[in-house]
Structure 1
Amino acid sequence: MNVVDTLASAIGNSLRSKTRTLLTVLAIFIGAFTLTITSAIGTGVSDYIDNQIGAFGAKDVLTVTKASDEPARQEGPAEYDPDAAIVGADLTQFDTEPLLDEDLDTIRGIDGVLDVSAVRQVRPRYIESGNGGKYVLDVNATANLTTPDLAAGTQLDNSGTEPQILLLSSYVDALGLPNAARAIGSTVRIGIADYTGQLHEVAATVTGVQNETILASGAALNEALLEQLHTVQSIGQPSATTELSVVATAHFDPAASEAEIDAMQSALADAGFQAATVSDQIGVIQTVVDGIIAVLNSFAVIALIAAGFGIVNTLLMSVQERTREIGLMKAMGMRGASIYALFSTEAVFIGFLGSVLGAAAAIGIGSIANGLIVESFLAELEGLQVLRFEPVPVASILLTVMAIAFLAGTLPARRAARQNPIEALRYE
């Protein structure tokens, strides 16, 4: 028998006992469905976490601040209160103490730190667009180290002279802008006080709207806008006054081991600083997600193992029912290898049918569920696609299930191939 004949015979034989085959396919369907769903969850969540890492910073950077209690985070922008504004340009408005030159020297002296630079701070008071009202503007001081996850628009142009800003999505409605896409190109006014407390306004163009992230927050400003705000902020500042910053970035060797990074962080902690890497902030989340996916996958594997026994049972009964037929085939000259291939192909076909139906159902149901989940109780996690179906993982699941089916069909196929043709023809 050639390949086409073997395949056609295997499909026809599998459908002889429709009920028995259907129950076996159903068991495989459940395992393939579960595996496809859990794989999609793992892919979607991992992709979201990767975006969070990209939005937070480089992997060879320690973000260093003075040790302090982190304030509670408020959802959305707070309304601007001019009476509560702090007059002057000092740093007492920050909960974190500023870093002095001697602090930078201390950080620079830590073994493993290659270089340290203070992040330039600008302290705008408010942002407004048209007559939508003034709102407190939070600025991401480390925006130039990040790659924001955009909901609309483009990234900042740090080489141009036009002042640009990436707004957080929560500011779109507050500022009276129609939506994220139509906010692109709008002009906003940023209020900032000089050193004497006099308020000034600087105009900027919205070049993009970024999704809220779980790690980094605040609007991103390009170099041209930072320079204008910094220039205004410095008006009236005595020349002898030293510019202070509350955040510093310390680069280390990208090839540094975990032990070396831990040693740097411990040394900084002993010196009174907080230092965090991307892995510190998000590694625990990834570990938890991987653990949950592994548990879910284990249930799917159990279902597939049970389905494998179903295949064994189905084919063993098929061998018993077709004993005389097998004897006739061998008497007509069919070799044992061909009979083995026939029954193995039946097993693979059953696995293929169950896995394709399971994967297709998972993709269909998952695509609908994904929209409902993202738009309801996970709406705050912008950019998250809970279920992400990628071709390679789905194809891997199909091949895995078919491989399990093949292994399950090995015993019945061997028994069929070893049938004695004379005894088989006498079988009642």
Structure 2
Amino acid sequence: MNALDLVRTAVSHTFRSKLRTTLTVLALFVGAFTLTLTTALGAGVSDYVAKQVASLGADDVLLISAGTGTATDAGPQPYDPATSTASGGPANPLTGGGALTPQDISALEGIDGLRDVSPVSAVAVDWIQGPGSQKYEFAIAPTSSIARADLVAGSQLDAEATENQITLPLDDVEPLGWADPGDAVGARVELGFTDVLGGPHTIEATVVGVSNTSLLTAGAGANAALVDAIAAEQRAGSSAPERFQVAVASFDPNASADDVRDLKDRVADAGMTAQTIQDQLGIVQTVIGGITGVLNAFAVIALLAAAFGIINTLLMSVQERTREIGLMKAMGMSNGRVFALFSIEAAIIGVLGSVLGVVVAVLVGLPLNAALAQGPLSGLAGLDLLLFQPQGMLGVVALIVVIAFLAGTLPARRASLKSPIDALRYE
């Protein structure tokens, strides 16, 4: 009996007891259905978080601010008059306290391992006005010039452009006079702001992109040219020294965790705080991973229960086919062939249950995803709660087939070890 004959025989034997096979397949279906949905949930949330993290900057970037804060140690930090601010809220970078100075930037440039240190000027915009719209309050995210927005339309900010560019949050499009995000791309808007002496100023900028609202950064995006232009006019006439809200510095993307920790320590020794993107994300990823892990655990429990169902099904099949097994052995079938026959039956059950579970999960998940996006999750633009990825679905099928195959090894081994004479005498 060649391999093809083994498969054909296994398929016919699998459906010999249709009810028993169907119940076993349904047990695997429950596990596959649950695991597919939880895998899609984890992929969807992870994809959304990745887009949100991208709005903070690259993985090989440190965001550096004034004061040692909680850069290296947990818990309250000792008060240092040289680095601590007197107020409990955010300091005003235009007036000095809690901001970075040119001397701080020079100190950062002198730290070995930091490169491309770029200060980010602090700007405060009072309002924005689109074509024919009224004025609306407006804010620019501090690190938007280095971030990558989760775009709905348009393109990313050009860090090298001399033209004033902004990216608008999706929620701002309609109030500013556009019916569609694509209509806003390329349009000109007017921004109003006040200098340190109280004088009003306006400046124009071009909308280059529209982004989904970010949970991790507040405000619109502005390129370096626009930020520098606003900062220069806001400081015009002021004798106060130049101050920066944050500084951005890159490091070797291949640096180890110890190397990055050492960089943070050296920045802290200089009286400043350095954070990576992962630091800013904090416990969010841990919580997401924990929730997904718990849901996956329930799916695995269902699969283990199904595995016992496979063992029971095949053991009963071995018992019922004892004389048949004896006859096959008497005709020359080897122990290995008998073992393979029952193992293939188990794998076929695994394929049926897993494929059915994955297909039904997708058929249920896609409309559910659309309903959630238009209903309870409509405020989280860009979130596909259930993201079905081909590699994830194939992984679920492969996992269940392996579990089914392993579950079938015990009955298959028992069948392969039966004596032909004893099997033929079995009543």
Compute the displacement of 1:94 (Å).
8.4
1:372-418 residue CA offsets vs partner (Å, 9 max, x unmatched) = 22333333332222211111121122111111111111121122222
Compute the displacement of 1:97 (Å).
3.6
Tell me what 1:84 maps to: none
Tell me what 2:22 maps to: 22
Q: Distance in 1 between matches of 2:204 and 2:376?
A: 36
Amino acid of the structure 1 residue aligned with 2:316? M
Which residues of 2 match residues 6-405 of structure 1 at below 5 A? Answer: 6-66=6-66, 97-104=98-105, 113=114, 116-194=117-195, 197-226=198-227, 228-230=229-231, 232-233=233-234, 236-237=236-237, 242-262=241-261, 265=264, 273-405=272-404
Change (3 A) 1:126 1:377: same
Query: Larger deviation: 355-364 or 182-191?
Result: 182-191
Compute the displacement of 1:334 (Å).
2.5
Amino acid of the structure 2 residue aligned with 1:43? A
SS in 2 for 1:249: strand
TM-score by length of 1: 0.85
Change (3 A) 1:185 1:324: same
Compute the displacement of 1:316 (Å).
0.9
SS in 2 for 1:124: coil
Tell me what 2:408 maps to: 409
Amino acid of the structure 2 residue aligned with 1:179? D
1:309-365 residue CA offsets vs partner (Å, 9 max, x unmatched) = 111111111111112222222233333322222111111000110011011111121
Tell me what 2:73 maps to: none
Compute the displacement of 1:116 (Å).
4.1
Q: Percent identity?
A: 46
Amino acid of the structure 1 residue aligned with 2:289? D
Amino acid of the structure 1 residue aligned with 2:298? F
Q: Distance in 1 between matches of 2:258 and 2:36?
A: 37
Work out whether residues 96 and 246 of structure 1, in 8 Å CA contact, stay in contact via their aligned partners in 2.
Answer: no
Change (3 A) 1:333 1:111: closer
**Where does the alignment leave 5 or more consecutive residues of structure 2 unmatched?**
70-90
SS in 2 for 1:151: strand
Amino acid of the structure 2 residue aligned with 1:125? D
SS in 2 for 1:16: coil
Q: Distance in 1 between matches of 2:158 and 2:413?
A: 68
Compute the displacement of 1:267 (Å).
6.3
**Where does the alignment leave 5 or more consecutive residues of structure 1 unmatched?**
70-89
Work out whether residues 65 and 247 of structure 1, in 8 Å CA contact, stay in contact via their aligned partners in 2.
Answer: yes
Amino acid of the structure 2 residue aligned with 1:281? Q
Compute the displacement of 1:257 (Å).
4.2
Work out whether residues 67 and 96 of structure 1, in 8 Å CA contact, stay in contact via their aligned partners in 2.
Answer: no
TM-score by length of 2: 0.85
The number of aligned residues is: 406
Query: Larger deviation: 283-292 or 225-234?
Result: 225-234
Q: CA RMSD in A?
A: 2.9
Q: Distance in 1 between matches of 2:347 and 2:62?
A: 52
Query: Larger deviation: 109-118 or 356-365?
Result: 109-118
Q: Distance in 1 between matches of 2:166 and 2:110?
A: 35
